Structures are given as structure tokens and as C-alpha cells.
């Protein structure tokens, strides 16, 4: 049995549906991220799990118990807010101790638990400081220690790293994952940052318009997006319009501009009708620049952008504009106006239905 289960959970505000028929199971010890743009329903879903928002319809179960209408303070969940919500007049130790005091834990045991929690986030030396005396990363650690010290069955993270600068945010992603693995707490995180979700999650729930459009392992979400939205929201993708010319078991032949391409499709999705309008998707980093005349397509560099470890090129081709990510490996970069060939491995292409229905 799944540790946390959402069954057809929906939330409406009057005539506005914020979340529609969310079905999600989370195993004990798993780290799951709700990923999507602003307004997609991810934070509302988290708040329904926490008990801060009432469920309009559906059911939420935790360890086999129905908590759909249980009050937030009876669920015993650990929560880290986007703003950290630390008490400014309390020391670090007192902030972490607060939840234990509310549970009327004896003072000696409380002190030991606080010390353990601060050691977990490497803040033992800062126990007597106040939040205003800490950096953003340190405040984030205090909020995490306060949530974990009560030993919650589920840890809920609402954009916990969004207030940090880029370098610290990246460092904290991996530290957060290390702490979660060490403690083993079942965790659900809300984020709009796809790299954050992909790098530290066991599974990712991609949300759009109040619905979960794909629930899968990060690698599969990236390599096998189920919709056009996912292919462009999770990373970059080249989408070239095409038309199916024939479709058999496991693959389809597609005409994309002057190209005739064979594309593998998932057997569980079903085939495509001959003549169906589709989009061929291929990631920019899967494309390779080769000498003109030796690839699948020839193109002309319209723009180039230096990204440090990579060059991003935009090339005009007979099949449409293509983005290509090339490593900055010491070879001379192409200049705007240069001609180049473009090639890619056949297994790196994907088909998406032009109406954005579920695809291969």
C-alpha cells in the first residue's frame, strides 16, 4: 500500500477549478516533486495535503488513514515554506524547538532532539543566533531542521530554495537531497524550476492547468515527454511539424519538410493514422554539427550564444529553425552566416501529436 495517496482530488474556487482529479501515490521514503508554471495547481495540491486548503472532492490517505478533512495541526506533517516563516524574536535553537514545545515534550528530550536536528543541517555553532544574523542558506537550513525535528511522516516543501542566489541554490539542492536520504522522510516538494526537480527527485509530477500531465522518473520525463508542453517546459526542444506517411509496430515513417524520418513509438500509446499531423521533437544537445553536406540536413547559422561550457546555435534549415547545443571543447566555434550539416541519432527523436494529446 502506498504511504501517501491522493485519489481524484480536486479543488474549486467558485467556478474556477484549480486542481482537477489529481491521482498520486507516494511510497514511504520517496522524494516526489510537483513541477509546473505559476498557476498550474501545484501549490494548491501541496496545501490540500497539508490541510491548509479544503478538498472540494476526492480523498487523501496517509498510512492507510483518511486525512481528507483532518485539521492541519492533527496531521503531524513537517512543512518548509518559501519564506521560511522563522520567528525573528527567537534564537535558532528556540525556532527548532518550537514544534516540540507545542507537543509538550520534556525539556531534556527536547534539547537533545534540537541538537540532533541542528547537527543534521550543520548549524550546531549557530544555535544561539537569531534569524537576522544568518545568511539565506542558513535560514533555509533552520526551517528544514524545524520541520524535521518533529519526525514527521511526510515533509512538505513549498519552493524551499527560491529565495537563494543561483550558486547557493544549486549547492542546497544536493544538500537537501542528502539530508532527505539520510533521514528517510517521505517528501513532496513544489517547484517551478525544472532542473531542481529533475536533479533531486525520485519522481516528478508535471502539472499544467490544474492537471497532472505526466508522472514519471526524471530521466523519462525528459527523454520521453508525453505532451508538447512538457517537451518545452522541461528543458529545450526542437519541434518540427510533420505528417505520418506510414505507421507499423514500434515505429512510424514521418515526412518532415524534405526529410523522411523513421521514429520509434511506444507500443502502449498505440499507432498514428497515416496522414496524421505530428511534431517531431529532438533535444538541442542531441544534435551534432558536421561538415555541410554530410548530415541529415544542411543549415545556416542565424545566431549564436556563448553559455560558458556550451555554444547555443540557431540554424535555418529547409525543415525549419533548429537549436543546437555544442560543447565548448576547444574546437573553433561557428560564426553567424556559416553553413553546417546537422545530424542526430535516430533513437533520439520523439513524436508528439499536433493536438498535444498523449504521444510516443
Q: 43 in helix, strand or coil?
A: helix
1, pLDDT greater than 70: no
CATH number for the domain harbouring residue 68: 3.40.50.300
**pLDDT for res 171:** 86
Count structural domains, the chain: 3
**pLDDT for res 77:** 96
Q: Are strands 186-191 and 154-158 parallel, antiparallel or unpaired?
A: parallel
164, pLDDT greater than 90: no
Of the CA atoms within 13 Å of residue 224, those in its CB half-sphere come to 16
**pLDDT for res 267:** 53
252 and 221 in a single domain? The answer is: no
Task: Give the structural domain span for 20.
Answer: 4-228
CATH number for the domain harbouring residue 302: 2.40.50.140
- Residue % of the chain over a pLDDT of 90: 82
For residue 356, count other CB atoms closer than 10 A to its CB.
16
111 and 240 in a single domain? The answer is: no
**DSSP H helices in the chain:** 42-50, 72-75, 92-102, 107-120, 136-148, 166-183, 194-200, 218-223, 228-233
36 and 170 in a single domain? The answer is: yes
What mean pLDDT comes out for the span 98-111?
93
**pLDDT for res 229:** 93
CATH number for the domain harbouring residue 241: 2.40.50.100
Q: 197 in helix, strand or coil?
A: helix
215 and 318 in a single domain? The answer is: no
57 and 104 in a single domain? The answer is: yes
72 and 123 in a single domain? The answer is: yes
145 and 50 in a single domain? The answer is: yes
**pLDDT for res 159:** 92
254 and 328 in a single domain? The answer is: no
19, pLDDT greater than 70: yes
CA dihedral over 78, 84, 89, 92, signed as positive or negative: positive
Rounded to the nearest integer, the mean pLDDT of the chain is: 92
pLDDT in tens, 239-258: 999 999 998 878 899 999 99
pLDDT in tens, 37-89: 999 999 999 999 999 999 999 999 999 999 999 999 999 999 998 888 899 99
pLDDT range class, residue 237, cuts 50, 70, 90: very high
Please give the model's pTM, rounded to 2 decimal places: 0.90
265, pLDDT greater than 50: yes
129 and 206 in a single domain? The answer is: yes
How many angstroms separate the CA atoms of 273 and 276, rounded?
5
319 and 306 in a single domain? The answer is: yes
162 and 255 in a single domain? The answer is: no
CB 12 within 8 A of CB 2: no
- Mark which of 194, 210, 228 sits at the end of a domain: 228
265 and 301 in a single domain? The answer is: no
271, pLDDT greater than 80: no
Amino acid at each position: 500500500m502506498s504511504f501517501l495517496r491522493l485519489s481524484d482530488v480536486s479543488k474549486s474556487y467558485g467556478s474556477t477549478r484549480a486542481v482537477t482529479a489529481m491521482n498520486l501515490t507516494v511510497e514511504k521514503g520517496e522524494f516526489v516533486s510537483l513541477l509546473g508554471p505559476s498557476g498550474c495547481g501545484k501549490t494548491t495540491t501541496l496545501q490540500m495535503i497539508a490541510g491548509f486548503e479544503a478538498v472540494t472532492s476526492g480523498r487523501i490517505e496517509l498510512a492507510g488513514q483518511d486525512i481528507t478533512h483532518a485539521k492541519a495541526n492533527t496531521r503531524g506533517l513537517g512543512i518548509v515554506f518559501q519564506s521560511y516563516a522563522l520567528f525573528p524574536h527567537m534564537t535558532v535553537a528556540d525556532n527548532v524547538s518550537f514544534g516540540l514545545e507545542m507537543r509538550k515534550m520534556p525539556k531534556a528530550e527536547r534539547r537533545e532532539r534540537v541538537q540532533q536536528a541542528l547537527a543534521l543541517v550543520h548549524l550546531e555553532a549557530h544555535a544561539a543566533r537569531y534569524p537576522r544574523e544568518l545568511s539565506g542558506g542558513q535560514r533555509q537550513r533552520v526551517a528544514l531542521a524545524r520541520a524535521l525535528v518533529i519526525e514527521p511522516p511526510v515533509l512538505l516543501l513549498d519552493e524551499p530554495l527560491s529565495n537563494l542566489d543561483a550558486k547557493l541554490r544549486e549547492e542546497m539542492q544536493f544538500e537537501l537531497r542528502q539530508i532527505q536520504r539520510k533521514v528517510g522522510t517521505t517528501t513532496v516538494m513544489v517547484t517551478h524550476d525544472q532542473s531542481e526537480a529533475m536533479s533531486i527527485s525520485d519522481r516528478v509530477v508535471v502539472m499544467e492547468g490544474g492537471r497532472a500531465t505526466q508522472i514519471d522518473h526524471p530521466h523519462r520525463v525528459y527523454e520521453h515527454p508525453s505532451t508538447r508542453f512538457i517537451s518545452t517546459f522541461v528543458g529545450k526542444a526542437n519541434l518540427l511539424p510533420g505528417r505520418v506517411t506510414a505507421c507499423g509496430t514500434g515505429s512510424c515513417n514521418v515526412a518532415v519538410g524534405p526529410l523522411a524520418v523513421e521514429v520509434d513509438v511506444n507500443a502502449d500509446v498505440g499507432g498514428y493514422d497515416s496522414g496524421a499531423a505530428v511534431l517531431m521533437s529532438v533535444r538541442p544537445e542531441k544534435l551534432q554539427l558536421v561538415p555541410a553536406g554530410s548530415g541529415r540536413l544542411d543549415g545556416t547559422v542565424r545566431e549564436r550564444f556563448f553559455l560558458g561550457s556550451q555554444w547555443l546555435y540557431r540554424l535555418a534549415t529547409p525543415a525549419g529553425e533548429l537549436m543546437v547545443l555544442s560543447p565548448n571543447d576547444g574546437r573553433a566555434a561557428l560564426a553567424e552566416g556559416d553553413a553546417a550539416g546537422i545530424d542526430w541519432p535516430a533513437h533520439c527523436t520523439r513524436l508528439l501529436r499536433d493536438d498535444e494529446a498523449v504521444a510516443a
